[in-house]
Structure 1
């Protein structure tokens, strides 16, 4: 773990303010610089995890020999292929409020230069990702049956990557959020993980002719299980100068009731 306690920290505030458009501007401040982007209102923003529209990063000069870093354990900048020296600049330890931490090479003066890393993190915060729109079979509002598979799947078009790009002068960055997995909490203490958006049920086909890639069998009847479906998005970015890397994951969740009934058997004589 890295210890804290260094002085002369340079703070960089990444703020997203209400409005339209993807523009970004940089303003010099006594403590560093301020990057301002714009975003429109997004549903479900309060449920965002891993990243947000207000991420604060601290930059501390980092000495490659590891002897003048205020007691912090040595980190080899060469271990990060995206932080190789390019032109005039210096190594900095970057520590962000969402948990991101690394040693990066920053060209020029950190107090006056916008990096593609900073623009990427700002662009990532501007990507609109809403809670998943989940369909089921039997349809939501209808009873699930004990012992039979209950299908979970997303509406068409939900499972696709989303990107946002920002530019400041010659510096640019594009962040991308890509759905990676769908997790279903059945509400009875069991959880399943699906690698994709599930398989859409086709009412024009017989049930025995179809197979689900994301389903669960309830074993006991109940008036209302509180089920929840969570989609996890992974983040990546690329930017000017051949830079790039990963970003914290994003999750979005929706919760709804599922009523489960016993299947009724028909018995005939003769």
Structure 2
């Protein structure tokens, strides 16, 4: 079954829609590998926060058919498929998959619909029908009976889901255990069981950062050997945050991940240039801005953040790259929180440099 597309939107709640069961379970059955994870044992560190999972009454049926990740995102959320994700400065990536709880009714309805659709699809291969039948059999009348309907108030099914922005990451297949039963307040017993920290790490991947287009003076066109001032306005360039929440199977947790700009690195796009400071790394001012706006009468001063080009760009332009480093932190349910790896985000803008030795401004 194909994935449903994830949709993000600025300042609104969004849902990652991913069908989590068939890709893992049926693939495992077809390969002859059948892994059943036994319920975890009670742990002092589970649930992730006091009262987040307990004896939740279950009634009615699910919306049927499609089990999706129940994680929702709100705040400064980037568009689906956009290339504006913050890039970790270390060898770290947000989680590619995790496990979430589902009620008995939701899991039963999903499996039954998947089974019916597969069996009744014209031209469906016999091995596919056999695989989905074997999968259904485990939960309906095999190891478990009728999806544990008689224990509906005592626990939940836990299923694997993928991070929609990491589908091309081989790690998205690491959550390969078949759906398994976990009693209320027991530890699921798998390292990728969703927690506030996992939500925070997923939110890291969803943050929409402002464009790193610096203000320049002179703007767009400058002169050889003339100091060009560069700055970022604190009113437009400020911290961004995303809150990831999950309310499913009696588990109700959330985490907010916040990115705060701390420095700006300027790369002139040519070796025939000097940067201010020499490292090209402009640090944050006490008021939250970076650099200083140019003011009339300061032409002979050296900017705290800027560039001086030493050679004309001719008929073309230099590609000035401005990369901001962001300090990432998170806080979540139950007082959890901490730091995540710093991230960077950069943009490029064209600068034309003319061969003029002096200019009045």
Structure 2 unaligned spans of 5+: 26-35, 38-67, 100-165, 172-184, 274-278, 285-289
Residue 146 (structure 1) aligned to one of 199, 224, 235: 224
Task: Give runs of aligned pairs for residues 238-249 of structure 1, distance below 5 A.
Answer: 238-249=331-342
Distance of aligned partners of 1:47 and 1:163 in 2 relative to their CA distance in 1, 3 Å threshold? closer
For the Cα contact (< 8 Å) 1:233–1:249, is it kept in 2? Answer: yes
For the Cα contact (< 8 Å) 1:22–1:166, is it kept in 2? Answer: no
Which deviations, in whole Å up to 9, do the C-alpha atoms of 1:54-85 show, x marking residues without a partner? 841479xxxxxxxxxxxxxxxxxxxxxxxxxx
Task: Give 1 or 2: higher strand fraction.
Answer: 1
Deviation at 1:209, TM superposition (A): 8.2
Distance of aligned partners of 1:260 and 1:156 in 2 relative to their CA distance in 1, 3 Å threshold? same
Matched residue SS, 1:129: coil
Query: When the two structures are superposed, what TM-score results if normalisation uses the length of structure 1?
Result: 0.60
Task: Give runs of aligned pairs for residues 176-187 of structure 1, distance below 5 A.
Answer: 176-187=258-269
**Partners in 1 of 2:217 and 2:335 — Cα distance?**
46
**Partners in 2 of 1:159 and 1:219 — Cα distance?**
29
Which of structures 1 and 2 has the larger relative contact order (alpha carbons within 8 angstroms, sep 6+)?
2
Does residue 1:192 correspond to 2:283, yes or no? Answer: no
Structure 1 unaligned spans of 5+: 1-14, 60-95, 100-105
Does residue 1:118 correspond to 2:198, yes or no? Answer: yes
**Partners in 1 of 2:72 and 2:198 — Cα distance?**
11
Deviation at 1:175, TM superposition (A): 0.6
Residue 253 (structure 1) aligned to one of 346, 354, 358: 346
Show the counterpart of 2:135.
none
**Partners in 2 of 1:98 and 1:181 — Cα distance?**
33
RMSD of equivalent CA atoms: 4.2
For the Cα contact (< 8 Å) 1:229–1:255, is it kept in 2? Answer: yes
Deviation at 1:147, TM superposition (A): 2.3
Deviation at 1:263, TM superposition (A): 3.6
**Partners in 1 of 2:258 and 2:189 — Cα distance?**
25
For the Cα contact (< 8 Å) 2:258–2:328, is it kept in 1? Answer: yes
For the Cα contact (< 8 Å) 2:71–2:246, is it kept in 1? Answer: no
For the Cα contact (< 8 Å) 1:114–1:171, is it kept in 2? Answer: no
Which deviations, in whole Å up to 9, do the C-alpha atoms of 1:9-42 show, x marking residues without a partner? xxxxxx9820453356899856899453357653
Show the counterpart of 1:17.
6
Does residue 1:171 correspond to 2:253, yes or no? Answer: yes
For the Cα contact (< 8 Å) 2:7–2:14, is it kept in 1? Answer: no
